[in-house]
Copies of this chain bind each other. A is one copy, B any other.
Amino acid sequence: MNRSLLLAFLLSTFVQLPLIAQSSDDDAFFIRSIYDEAMTNGDAYNWLDYLTNKIGPRLGGSPESAAAVEYVRQMLDTMGMDTVYLQPCMVPHWERGEPEVGRIVSSSRMGTVDLNVLALGNSVGTGPEGVTAEVVEVQSLEDLAELGRDRLEGKIVFFNRPMDPTQINTFNAYGGAVDQRVYGASRASEFGALAVLVRSVTTRLDDIPHTGVTVYQEGVNPIPALAVSTRDANLLSDLLVTENIRVYLRNTSRMLKPKLSYNVIGEIRGSENPDEIILVGGHLDSWDVGRGAHDDGAGCVHAMDVVNILNKVDYRPKRTLRCVLFINEENGQAGAMAYRDASFANDEYHLAAIESDRGGFTPRGFTFDAHESVFNQKFRKVLEWLPLLEPYGLSLDKGGSGADISRLKPQMGLLVGFAPDTQRYFDFHHASTDTLEAVNPRELQLGAAAMASLVYLLDKYGN
């Protein structure tokens, strides 16, 4: 929330400028101790090194995801929590198969040109022979109906709308482009297309293709869906202006039978209000390229380090602190649904749930969500803490929380998304470049400190 809106908000609700009065010296001192601990003895970066370099990518259903489940369980076990357990769920098991091939086979100007392509997650394969077809470039899902079956049947549809570079928050630009990746295959299939090629949803102009989930809607014939690097997308688009390009695509991806996997949960029972749960979480699975460092290894080690840091500064929570590492966020959210189902079945109340799933970059603040009937009251309470968090470069804004926790909204608690700087996230997102080298240790540890500070305030004062 910017300062002018903040002023208007506070004045409109007759809160008499409580910001200064309510920021007690004790809280400032305690938050300082949290930051000191995080920046000198935090373990987030070390854990992330292990997750990314010793274990690797962790697609749901893969052996690596099972290794990750076991690793974080063991790490939580070292923290003296009251209970650490696995919450089972069945997850989709998709395999990429052999390295994909993408090739322009009939450019009179360029001859044969290899393209950097990568099957989208959950995509079917082309079959071992591959697919060769003419290419029709479109800018949006809406373009398909305009072109119609006559122009699309038997073709490869090439979705080429870039992320909008003028959006300051890159997540807004992502939201404005990702429909092509998620729904492009289903929609193009309805018009008889053979396959789709989707411009990588990234802020970079380079040769790295970015994967991510594609969703086959019920009743449509699933067709292969591949991402193409932004530089190759530009090349293809250029050639299409003057030539009737044919492209060859081959991938052997396939969906196997669902597998048993787990959310990993560690809990410290609250000393005074054990029925009020404060959740900190991230998701343990990643795509199968790169190492899932920012997405979402960072979120997992953030959540784990919150418990770790509060432990080390000898803080015993009054409310129940629960660290949840969700499985299968990327291609199904079976973990999130299993967690929700169990939570509602047990009549739980999450006072607050905080998810870190926007990377391990310099913290800029948090975004808050709640059922609309309680949002203003809850957000106003949170804003009273702004003077305590602002010295650490944090702002507090209305906004989304996280894919794994948003299903808890009917419990009427506060849902919080950790909001780091967004400029670099989509450089690495779902790509081979999402490795530990893309994570700065200080930026990562500051995230753990920011989350631990908010948890401390939520635990001490409620919401």
Contact = CB atoms under 8 A, between A and B. Distances in A.
Interface of A: 2-4, 6-8, 17, 19-20, 23, 35-36, 39-40, 165-166, 168, 170, 203-204, 362, 364, 386-387, 390-393, 421, 423-424, 427, 440-443, 446
A344 to B, nearest CB: 38
A7 B19 contact: yes
Nearest to A387: B4
Contact of A4 (B2, B23, B36, B440): B23
Q: Which 8 A/B pairs are nearest by Cβ-Cβ distance?
A: A2-B390, A4-B387, A39-B165, A4-B19, A36-B166, A423-B442, A39-B166, A4-B20
A7 B20 CA distance: 9
A309 to B, nearest CB: 13
A165 B442 contact: yes
A342 to B, nearest CB: 38
Contacts of A36: 166
B442 A40 contact: no
Given A40-B165, A423-B440, 20 more contacts: A2-B391, A3-B387, A4-B19, A4-B20, A4-B386, A4-B390, A7-B17, A7-B19, A7-B20, A8-B20, A35-B168, A36-B166, A165-B442, A168-B446, A203-B442, A204-B441, A421-B421, A423-B443, A423-B446, A427-B440
Given A7-B19, A19-B4, A364 B387 contact: no
A168 B19 CA distance: 22
Nearest to A383: B3
27 contacts: A2-B390, A3-B19, A3-B387, A3-B390, A4-B19, A4-B387, A4-B390, A7-B7, A7-B19, A8-B20, A35-B166, A39-B165, A39-B166, A40-B165, A40-B166, A165-B442, A168-B391, A168-B392, A168-B393, A170-B442, A203-B442, A204-B441, A362-B362, A423-B443, A424-B440, A424-B442, A427-B440
Contacts of A441: 204
Nearest to A424: B440
A204 B440 CA distance: 9
Contacts of A443: 423-424
Nearest to A8: B20
A7 B203 CA distance: 37
Nearest to A427: B440
A392 B166 CA distance: 11
A19 B7 CA distance: 9
Contacts of A393: 168, 364
A46 to B, nearest CB: 12
A6 B395 CA distance: 14
Contacts of A390: 2-4
A168 B453 CA distance: 14
Contacts of A446: 168, 423
Given A3-B386, A4-B19, A440-B427, A362 B165 contact: no
A3 B18 CA distance: 12
A446 B166 CA distance: 10
Nearest to A32: B166
A421 B427 CA distance: 18
Contacts of A8: 20
Nearest to A204: B441
A169 to B, nearest CB: 9
A170 B39 CA distance: 12
A364 to B, nearest CB: 7
A424 B442 CA distance: 8
A102 to B, nearest CB: 25
A364 B395 CA distance: 12
A362, A391, A440 interface centre (most CB from chain B within 10 Å):
A362
A362 B421 contact: yes
A457 B386 CA distance: 28
Given A7-B20, A35-B168, A387 B2 contact: yes
